[in-house]
Structure 1
Amino acid sequence: MQTFNKIGAVFALTAFFAVGCSSVTKTVSDTAHALTTMHMKKVVDVNEVTANGIGKKLGTISFQDSDKGLIITPALADLPSGTRGFHIHENASCAPAVKDGKPGAALAAGSHYNPNQAPHHGTPTTGHLGDLPALVVDNTGVATTAVIAPRLKLADIQGRAIMIHAGGDNYSDSPLPLGGGGARIACGVIK
């Protein structure tokens, strides 16, 4: 009888651990699945740029896919206050380059990212894919307000640059081309 009690106890413990292990395995499996379906985030350093080169770090910008598009979240300081033109540019470089015989800040980044060959600069829903909502910089020079690029995904912007311009953006090619944002003042390479 004592042998049957020992055998019964062994079966009970085995069943207990089997159920417990399968619960743990299911929980680990569910957690792993949740982690792989979460949207990945990319963080990019952003530096001041001039015609002489790349300057001090101003902060970071993070990029994360969402159901509404690419969420772009700045954590920047030491910028001029106001609204600034904000774009994805076609090349992964913030180096100066020469255009029309003159050196210019971050010109190696090329033009706005425009794989769909949109004929004109426009809004984030109508223009170049690299046309983003304006960057808002508070009166202390800090920018932390996220924007959404509804037509972009993280995969689209890898190997490109994020650019901040000296002026605002009127989302038109008139009266000045490319929204009138003017000089490039800050840039980050999206690897």
Structure 2
Amino acid sequence: MKLTLIAPLAASLFALAALPALAEAPLATATFKTQESADAGTADLSEGPEGVVIRVTASGLTPGWHAIHFHETGDCSDEGYKKSGSHVQHAAKEPHGLLNPEGPDDGDLPNIYAAEDGTVNAELYSDRVTLSEAEGRANLIDEDGSALVIHEGPDDHMSQPIGGAGARVACAVIEKVE
């Protein structure tokens, strides 16, 4: 009986010991806007040792699959969000597509799914970006910032330049949490 209490207690103590390390990890946040809403959801970004976890909550999207990408400039001020530029890159431009044998580029992410009510709750991971200037990864918090952009349709992860994902329907400027 005592052994059954020790395992959960040990796991809890291990989790508590990890909290200071998590608190020191670089963090960023972003608020999605659409043409209809200035507050269409959020993305919270946390850096780990080898990449960034992105937790996305969004609303007001058409039900179904949508592409989501990191874009090179933190500017969502224009209609169509073209000021956010192309996908982020840390070095020479790579071809688009998670399934592309010559890719992916640093802005590529898996698709997200909007439920029947247009909401998204997703958690994504990228080992191609950083919030803290990690070598060999695209820096999301550089001098001109970056953005997360949601497209009207899904990314096929092969077609150039954006996987046939269509228009940009939501945009969020990524900002470091101090």
TM-score over 0.5 for the pair: yes
Matches within 5 A, 1:24-43: 34=20, 38-43=24-29
Matches within 5 A, 1:101-180: 105-123=80-98, 126-155=103-132, 156-158=139-141, 159-173=145-159, 177-180=161-164
Larger helix share, 1 or 2 = 1
Letter of the 1:118 counterpart: K
TM-score w.r.t. length of structure 2: 0.73
Q: CA deviation at 1:44?
A: 1.1
> Which of 47, 56, 62 is matched with 2:38 structurally?
56
Letter of the 2:166 counterpart: G
1:124, 1:133 within 8 Å by CA — same for their partners in 2? no
Letter of the 1:45 counterpart: T
Letter of the 1:64 counterpart: S
Secondary structure of the corresponding residue to residue 62 of structure 1: strand
Q: CA deviation at 1:37?
A: 6.3
Deviations 1:130-185, CA, capped at 9 Å, x for gaps: 111112222221111101112222231121111000010011125xx310111000
Q: Which residue of 1 aligns with 2:169?
A: 185
Aligned equivalents of 2:150, 2:85: Cα separation in 1: 13
Aligned equivalents of 1:163, 1:109: Cα separation in 2: 8
Gapped runs of 5+ residues in structure 1?
Answer: 1-30, 97-103
Aligned equivalents of 1:37, 1:43: Cα separation in 2: 15
TM-score w.r.t. length of structure 1: 0.68
Q: CA deviation at 1:66?
A: 2.0
Q: Which residue of 2 aligns with 1:46?
A: 32
Aligned equivalents of 1:189, 1:91: Cα separation in 2: 8
The number of residue pairs the alignment matches comes to: 147
Structure 1 residues 36 and 77: alpha-carbon distance in aligned structure 2, compared to 1, 3 A threshold: closer
Secondary structure of the corresponding residue to residue 96 of structure 2: coil
Deviations 1:38-81, CA, capped at 9 Å, x for gaps: 323222111004xxxx8431011110112452111011112111
% identity of equivalent residues: 26
